[in-house]
Amino acid sequence: MVGLAGVLLFCLCLTAQAQPDFLPQARAYLVESDGRVLWEKDADRPLPPASLTKLMTALLVHERGGLDKVATVTPAAAAETGSRLDLKAGDRLRVRDLLAAALIQSANDACHALADWLAGDEARFVKLMNRRAGELDLKQTRYTNACGHDRPGHQASARDLARLAERAMQAPVIAQLVALPGHEIATADGARRFSLTNRNALIGRYEGATGIKSGFTARAGKCLIAAAQRDGRRVLLVMLNAGNRWWDASDTLDRAFAQLAPAS
């Protein structure tokens, strides 16, 4: 299937210069190719980012190193709500496998376990997240938790998230994990095994999709950062509070590739 092109053929009639109105249900979005913004709407508006938050957690873990070290799941991590693996306090997993669970299946318990492993507890980890956001010049980004829960003051803009995604995808381990349709991990002793399924429905279904992260909460709505590559061109899409993110993302990526000439 090539981006649902047969169903959405009408999209090719759009002129490249016009500001398209093809994401009417998205509160904010930004589409860029190779660093050039193609289209945007309220891209600097701070909004709840849901599990797109986990990209900052993943970036900090990557920058810390020690992916083959073993982390112990804390009671706080095991008590996480929402999307989770059902990890138990005392479970021991490689950091690399916890990272896979956080990025592929958006597991909050795995994400929290990473925060505890790196900083000692989530509160101290959040301070590191906000410090790194400042270093990356993410002007509208403020973190209050490691996983993306709806809490006062937890926010990011589409432009900030695009910048964060570009930085995260420079890390080979992150780029590899977010492109996997599924993955298998286990506790360090092999006693418990987990089958991960990518929550990003474009992976394995949209031609050229390479990542990167989806998210949803009651306040944030349906969120997505999607990346795809065709004919040497790469397109990155960020959508916050989108009505139908999979169809809209497929449509938007198709439109972007339609107006881009193949790379020479």
Q: What is the pLDDT of residue 261?
A: 76
The one-character DSSP state at 236 is: E
Q: What DSSP element (H or E) covers 178?
A: helix 172-178
For residues 125 and 132, give the distance between their C-alpha atoms in angstroms, rounded to a whole number: 11
User: Is residue 201 in some structural domain?
Assistant: yes
Whether 6 is covered by a domain: the verdict is no
Strands 209-217, 193-197: pairing is unpaired
Looking at the structure of the chain, the number of domains it has is: 1
Q: How far apart are CA 192 and CA 183, in angstroms?
A: 14
CA 200 to chain centre: 9
Centre a 10 Å sphere on the Cβ of residue 80 and count the other Cβ atoms it contains: 23
Q: Write down the pTM of the prediction.
A: 0.90
Angle CA(18)–CA(19)–CA(25) in degrees, nearest 5?
Answer: 140
Q: What is the CATH number of the domain that holds 34?
A: 3.40.710.10
pLDDT value at residue 19: 55
Residue 85 placed within a domain: yes
> Residue 60: which domain range?
12-259
In this structure, is residue 7 part of a structural domain?
Answer: no
Positions of the chain with pLDDT lower than 70, given as ranges: 1-24, 263-264
pLDDT at 23: 53
Task: Classify residue 101: in a domain, yes or no.
Answer: yes
Does 16 fall in a domain? yes
Residues comprising the chain, all counted: 264
pLDDT in tens, 5-57: 433 333 333 333 445 556 547 899 999 998 899 999 999 999 999 999 999 99
Answer whether residue 67 is part of any domain: yes
Strands (E), 21-126: 28-33, 36-41, 70-72, 92-94
Residues catalogued as catalytic:
51, 54, 106
Residue 2 included in any domain? no
